[in-house]
Structure 1
Amino acid sequence: MCADIEGLFVDLPPRPRERFTLLGCVLDGALASALNSMASAGQAWLGNLWLSPRPDDPAARRGWIGEQLLDVTVLGHRPSQTSPERLDIDLEGLVDVDDRTEGGARPGDVTGFVLSDLDDAPSGVCTDISGLFREPTGPPVPHITLVGCRPEPPLLAAIAAAPQTTKAGLRRRRVSAELGAVAADGSAVPLVGGLVSGKVLSSVPSALGPDLLDVTIAGDAREPRPAATREIIDLWFTGRPTERNLWARYDRTMRHEWAGVALAHHSWNTPDQRAGTAFHLDGRFVTDIEGFYCAIGEAINGPGGYFGWNLDALADCLGGNWGAEAPFLLVWHDSAVARRHLVAGYDHHRHAPTVPLETLLEMLTAHGTEVELR
């Protein structure tokens, strides 16, 4: 148990967009249309672009499914140096990875790429791409410090092995532990996705008290959680929040974090409210899909409540055992806010199609929920 952890909740600068070049391309579909539209605009937004091996490619037979580029803009094109009848195309976008520290090795047996767009429609073929495959990067925050820590035997063993440089010693220095937030009553709640892992570097007596240590760990390559996540966790220190809409102050990233903390603190021992119950959703702050998940969580389960944080999770919750038994009535107040903001298109925050209001209403109705829009 530790009083604090430094280096786990840190705001990083926005992930920079990257440059890629598709080499030796024959175009089709959305990519061909994008190049045709560039004559007047100078560049063209494409959306997401899948690069997968040809079906008969050795890489495909081995099970490699390819890579995806997100939020792609076409910057320019020119005849290919190797095959003038083909094109080399310059792109800007992001590689689809869970963590910016991830790398990606080019399969040695891939002989070319099939291109497809956001709807999996063909966009052409190319022989190669530059800028996509790269080595993993180091951790953005290299050190994590456990502050005021009273270590249990596994951590004590890693601390004892800190001076060792042999292979066996390096293995003994490794720690990997799920993170739980300790509440005022002494209970601990595991955090969704909370993990501390790496090699113990050193430990020193802590200023927080006798027999306590500050332990420094060389963390594994992983993005830290946003700094405000710690603030959200602290709101649950003395129990569930009692005030509604505290999540409304946050941006989309932190609204998602809010829902994750609410999930971690969800009470599994509370029975569903009986079928036919009317729940009231405060729609004043549903300006994004993350806001909807926060709002419906509080409509069903009260302040700080959880009722899904993506479409699959929402479907699970609508099936019961998450606070409400179907069929039930959802009275959606100030629904005009969602109608203005939850519209069809491309979501540049999630790098995916948006979840419009109509999709949410269809899902709710399909699971036996009557929705009254006000």
Structure 2
Amino acid sequence: MQVSKHTTWPHALPLRYLLAEVDADDQEHLWASCAAAEGLFVEPSPVPREVLALRGFRPEDAFMRTIGDADNSHAVIGDLAVEVWDEGGPQEWWTLKDVAVLAQLPDPDSPGLYDLVVGAGVVPDTDAGQPPKAPRFELFAGGRATPGGQASTVDGLFKSRPAPVPVPLKLIGCEPTELLLAAVHRPRRARPGWGHLVVLDRDGAVMAAVTLSLDLTDLRPSVLGGTLVDITMADGGDERPSPAVRPIWDRWHQGPATEPNLWAPYDSAGRTEWIGLTTRAWRIPAPRPDRSGAEYHLDGRFVTDAPGLHCAMAEALLGPGFYFGREWNAFKDCLCGGFGVVPPFTLNWHDSDVARQAFAGVFTDPAERLTYFEEVVRLLERNGVSVVLR
């Protein structure tokens, strides 16, 4: 589907959304053009808290420093990633959300091993099945950046959990295509499985794309009148944004940012959403030639967290509204080329002490005790960037 061919229509209402089917060849086909959506912004379903036990746990030293001694029964260590390995490598991935240590018991017969009891929300990152016959459990903190240790078993991990209750999505004032009308008359089991809700800004450019199931449960004449219809989808998908970030989407509806630091007033979650919109604003990015050898200036006044660092870095290298990584691995990939700037170049990091102080004491490299700020500087320098901290 070429979006530019579907950004106008003969109605007085602004066109805001395109509903597209995605076929087996990953090609999009327009189902409907729509004026409004109800249920696009939804609170994420809370993940129920559970109690799990990491048996035969051998922690990394840095992880133990986070937990503290056995008397510290209230340590909160954030999210943990769990990889389930067999002899061939990792087979499943899980996330333990907002992990709180409830108890830790040293194994009297095995020095260095523990039974660690935690409370957490459990989210499977892959389709969970039966554990391997002889599994090994690898744990990581900090978005898989920091090794946490190994465990022989994780009691309570493998069990059935109820699926979250789906939240419908209603599309208001839609002009259906023949594809949609044909799908309505097919048995539900024969309908296409999934698609995209493409969100347009006021100029008709793609602002975002939300993946959703095409389980259509209702189609009726629109409350807006005329020949338009209203569509109800059984589940709007789990990619929908939270109501808390609606102001950011409203800002991006005006078009990509043209001024620096518009992301700065937001908290970490808002800045993360801002970065997400920089990637989706160019859903099918045209190749940009990589420049090198220039001198750039990074405004460091608002670099108080990792999302802020990457917002400021992208603005320094490419300008407002562009993308140059959202976390460590993505940033490293961007430095390899294909995003408009490639080393060698010079980066003048103004007010660098703001970031140095914001990341003080937060170590991402347990062996070398480097903060995220120091890791980024080292990565830049190792890739041929001359970093001047001002």
- The answer to whether TM tops 0.5 is yes
> Are 2:292 and 2:345, in contact at CA under 8 Å, matched by a contact in 1?
yes
Code of the residue aligned with 1:217 in structure 2: it is: M
Q: Describe how 1:108-187 pairs up with structure 2 within 5 A.
A: 110=133, 114=137, 123-126=150-153, 129-130=155-156, 132-139=158-165, 141-161=166-186, 169-174=187-192, 176-187=194-205
Q: Deviations over 1:8-66 (max 9, x none)?
A: 221337645432245xx44544699699922x33455667474746x5xxxx5697356
Tell me which protein shows more helix as a share of its residues.
1
From the superposition, tell whether residues 270 and 42 of structure 1 become closer, same or farther in structure 2 (CA, over 3 Å).
Answer: closer
TM-score by length of 1: 0.75
Q: Does 1:10 align with 2:42?
A: yes
SS at match of 1:147: strand
For structure 1, the 5+ residue unaligned runs are: 81-85, 162-168, 348-352
Distance in 1, matches of 2:162 and 2:377, equals 42
Q: Does 1:76 align with 2:107?
A: no
Q: Which runs of 4+ in 1 moved over 6 A?
A: 31-36, 77-80
For structure 2, the 5+ residue unaligned runs are: 1-32, 108-112
Distance in 2, matches of 1:69 and 1:110, equals 22
> Which of 201, 210, 218 is 2:217 aligned to?
201
Computed over aligned residues only, the root mean square deviation of the Cα atoms, in angstroms, reads 3.8
Distance in 1, matches of 2:371 and 2:47, equals 23
SS at match of 2:102: strand
- In structure 2, what is the equivalent of residue 315 of structure 1? 332
Distance in 1, matches of 2:164 and 2:46, equals 17
Q: Deviations over 1:156-210 (max 9, x none)?
A: 223334xxxxxxx11244452223222333344553xx21214111112223342
Code of the residue aligned with 2:274 in structure 1: it is: W
TM-score by length of 2: 0.72
Q: Describe how 1:1-374 pairs up with structure 2 within 5 A.
A: 1-12=33-44, 15-22=47-54, 25-26=55-56, 28-29=58-59, 37-38=69-70, 40-43=71-74, 48=80, 50=82, 52=84, 55=86, 64-65=91-92, 67=94, 69=96, 72-76=99-103, 90-98=117-125, 104-107=128-131, 110=133, 114=137, 123-126=150-153, 129-130=155-156, 132-139=158-165, 141-161=166-186, 169-174=187-192, 176-189=194-207, 191=209, 194-219=210-235, 222=238, 224-266=240-282, 268=286, 270-272=288-290, 274-343=291-360, 345=362, 356-374=372-390
> Are 2:302 and 2:308, in contact at CA under 8 Å, matched by a contact in 1?
yes
Distance in 1, matches of 2:268 and 2:249, equals 17
State the percentage of identical aligned residues: 33
From the superposition, tell whether residues 219 and 354 of structure 1 become closer, same or farther in structure 2 (CA, over 3 Å).
Answer: farther
SS at match of 1:262: helix
**Once the 2 structures are TM-superposed, how far is the Cα of residue 309 of structure 1 from its aligned partner?**
1.3
From the superposition, tell whether residues 315 and 143 of structure 1 become closer, same or farther in structure 2 (CA, over 3 Å).
Answer: same
Q: How many residues align?
A: 340
> Are 1:114 and 1:125, in contact at CA under 8 Å, matched by a contact in 2?
yes
- In structure 1, what is the equivalent of residue 16 of structure 2? none
Code of the residue aligned with 1:208 in structure 2: it is: L
> Are 2:52 and 2:157, in contact at CA under 8 Å, matched by a contact in 1?
yes
SS at match of 1:248: coil
Code of the residue aligned with 1:91 in structure 2: it is: V
Code of the residue aligned with 1:184 in structure 2: it is: R
Code of the residue aligned with 2:255 in structure 1: it is: G
> Are 2:344 and 2:385, in contact at CA under 8 Å, matched by a contact in 1?
yes
From the superposition, tell whether residues 222 and 241 of structure 1 become closer, same or farther in structure 2 (CA, over 3 Å).
Answer: closer
> Are 1:287 and 1:341, in contact at CA under 8 Å, matched by a contact in 2?
yes
Q: Deviations over 1:129-166 (max 9, x none)?
A: 12552234134x421111111122332223334xxxxx
From the superposition, tell whether residues 44 and 233 of structure 1 become closer, same or farther in structure 2 (CA, over 3 Å).
Answer: closer
Distance in 1, matches of 2:68 and 2:256, equals 55
Code of the residue aligned with 1:291 in structure 2: it is: G
Code of the residue aligned with 2:241 in structure 1: it is: R
SS at match of 2:171: strand
